[in-house]
Structure 1
Amino acid sequence: MSGYKNILVGLDLSVESSQVLARASDIAACSGAQMSLAHIIEPLTFAYGGDIPMDLSEVQEQLQNQAREQLRKASRGLNIPEERQYVVLGQPATEIHRLAEESGCDLIVIGSHGRHGLALLLGSTANGVLHGAGCDVLAVRVHSPSE
């Protein structure tokens, strides 16, 4: 079996994202794969419903700009060009599937917090990505800094 050639790394840009990126970098280095980074932002209207009597477009744009800057910082030293750094509005699992398919990825790497109880019932991005991906998915168990 040959190694991976094109890896999409889904990052939530939390403190733990560095653990996901480190694991993906190791795999890419071993297999000579190129990496792409993705951060998906759910539209604020999804989170708050359409009932907010104010224009959230400026706030949404600020969130996207901050995410782009964080991806730039995360990619430093990894030789990931800006054209392979994606900040997308939408539902995370759906958009990760779309990006992976459009860019011909053969591996998706995401973080998994291993939540339990109510958070597990509500589902997780990692679970959504796993069930519907057209390629391999690696869910990296991340640990909070206090663990």
Structure 2
Amino acid sequence: MSKPVLCALELNDEALDEKVLAQAARLAALDGAQLDVVNVLPDFGESWVSGFFEEHHHEKAVKDTTQRLTGLCAKVLGDERNAKVRHLVATGTAYQEILKVAETTGCGLIVIGAHKPDLKDYLLGPNAARVIRHSDCSVFVVR
């Protein structure tokens, strides 16, 4: 068995997320690798923005996001395969947290989607580009 495959999903474009997840699952299956799926929530932390949210907003957001990840994995992969997937929710800056999770899990491959970029981003979105630039492992980009 090889190193885990980390699949980073944004959960805001279901069609792209399904493509990214299906590709990550295929790549993990080729090597008999563990499939980890991650989504990163923004961190409002101690900033003035946090004052606009309920006290337990973050915990609720993590719970809801975990349910969305689990549901998407069950839909795309089926219940049996989904039971073996590690569903991870991180909080912070997307590319930084994806890289931290990749390092923590010791993954050998990150699979990430490339959304329709702005002209300033040209080929890749800013998070995908940063993950590619700073990752210690291979990165597979799904369009």
TM-score greater than 0.5 by the shorter chain: yes
Q: Distance in 2 between matches of 1:52 and 1:25?
A: 36
* Matched residue, 1:27: 27
Q: CA deviation at 1:19?
A: 0.7
Q: Unmatched 5+ residue regions in structure 1?
A: 142-147
Displacement after TM superposition at 1:80 (Å): 4.5
Question: Residues 94-140 of structure 1, C-alpha deviation per residue, up to 9 Å, x if partnerless?
Answer: 1111111111100000110141324x28x621111111111000111
In 2, the alpha carbon distance for the partners of 1:53 and 1:72 equals 30
Alignment of structure 1 residues 112-123 onto 2, 5 Å: 112-118=114-120, 120=121
Residue 57 of structure 2 corresponds to: 59
Gapped regions of structure 2 (runs ≥ 5): none
1:127 aligned residue: 129
Aligned pair in 2 of structure 1 residues 125, 62: CA closer, same or farther (>3 Å)? same
Give secondary structure in 2 for the equivalent of 1:36.
strand
What is the number of residues matched between the two proteins? 134
Indicate if the aligned counterparts of 1:8 and 1:109 stay in contact, CA closer than 8 A. Answer: yes
Which portions of structure 1, spanning 4 or more consecutive aligned residues, are displaced by more than 4 angstroms? none
Partner of 1:110: 112
CA 1:51–1:110: 2 relative to 1, 3 Å: closer
Distance 1:104 1:52 in 2: 32
* 1:5 equivalent in alignment to 2:3: yes
**Overall identity of the aligned pairs, in %:** 29
Letter in 2 for 1:112: A
Task: Indicate how the Cα distance of structure 1 residues 43 and 56 shifts in structure 2: closer, same or farther if over 3 A, else same.
Answer: farther
Instruction: Tell me the amino acid that sits aligned with residue 99 of structure 1.
Output: V
Shift of 1:74: 2.3
- Give the equivalent residue in structure 2 for 1:44: 44
**Matched AA of 2:118:** H
Q: Which moved more, 1:15-24 or 1:49-58?
A: 49-58
Conserved? CA contact 2:38–2:90, under 8 Å: yes
- Which residue pairs with 1:145 in the alignment? none
| 94, 97, 104: which one aligns with 2:96 | 94
- Amino acid aligned to 1:124: P
Per the alignment, do residues 52 and 130 of structure 1 end up closer, same or farther by CA in structure 2, a change over 3 Å counting?
same
* TM, length-normalised to structure 1: 0.78
Cα-Cα RMSD:
2.4
